[in-house]
Amino acid sequence: MPTEKEKMLKGELYNANYDKSLIEERTKCKMLCFQYNTTSPEKFDQRKELIKKIVGKTKGEFLIEQPFVCDYGYNIELGENFYSNHNLIILDCAKVTFGDNVFVAPNCGFYTASHPLDYKTRNEGLEYAKPIRVGNNVWIGGNVVVLGGVTIGNNVVIGAGSVVTKDIPDNSVAFGVPAKKIKDLQP
């Protein structure tokens, strides 16, 4: 029988509060995020090393401004030259992958976790998670929410305040609630 963590990583219904290992992993990650968020901004190298302990994979240069919060950390991959402004939240119950040259404005959230529409199932504490992929050369405006199961292509701009519920194709500008492609960009 699969564990709750195995079900989580497969995108199946699971109970995040039933599996002791998931609770311990979240607690460990939250403690590292707390340590990161309370480290002086002038201690750049120390902050960078803490992020490397939190996230699953980093590539070259990156900077995440404080505060930053995530669930597990090990499901997050940062590409080269990744930058996030303040208040980044990543609910990484599934993989969240950022390509190279991704810029994220303040107050953005990437939420792989979701809950069943059926209240009886939801009330049992069950949830599921779907991955998020962000391509290369992407700019995400302030106060954007990206939901699980979404792929944002390469060379994309997401306008401030958008809620991205569906895939956004390469070389485009998208915004709105829900976000929709409104303009093509030159590759």
The two three-digit tokens of residue 18, written as one number: 């039933």
Of 186, 118, 121, the closest CA to residue 156 belongs to 186
Assign 94 to helix, strand or coil. coil
Q: Can you give the pLDDT at residue 25? A: 97
Query: Quick one: which H or E segment has residue 8?
Result: helix 4-10
- Residues 120-170 have pLDDT tens digits of 999 999 999 999 999 999 999 999 999 999 999 999 999 999 999 999 999
| CA distance to 4, 27, 134, per residue, from 104 (Å) | 31, 25, 11
**From CA 90, how far away is CA 96, in angstroms rounded?**
8
Domains and CATH numbers, the chain: 4-184 (2.160.10.10)
Residues carrying an active site annotation? 115
- pLDDT above 90: residue 1: no
Instruction: Report residue 18's pLDDT band, with 50, 70 and 90 as the boundaries.
Output: confident
- Residues 39-88 have pLDDT tens digits of 999 999 999 999 999 999 999 999 999 999 999 999 999 999 999 999 99
Contact 114, 148 (CB under 8 A): yes
- pLDDT above 90: residue 113: yes
Assign 11 to helix, strand or coil. coil
- Helix%, strand%, coil% for the chain, nearest 5: 20, 35, 45
Assign 58 to helix, strand or coil. coil
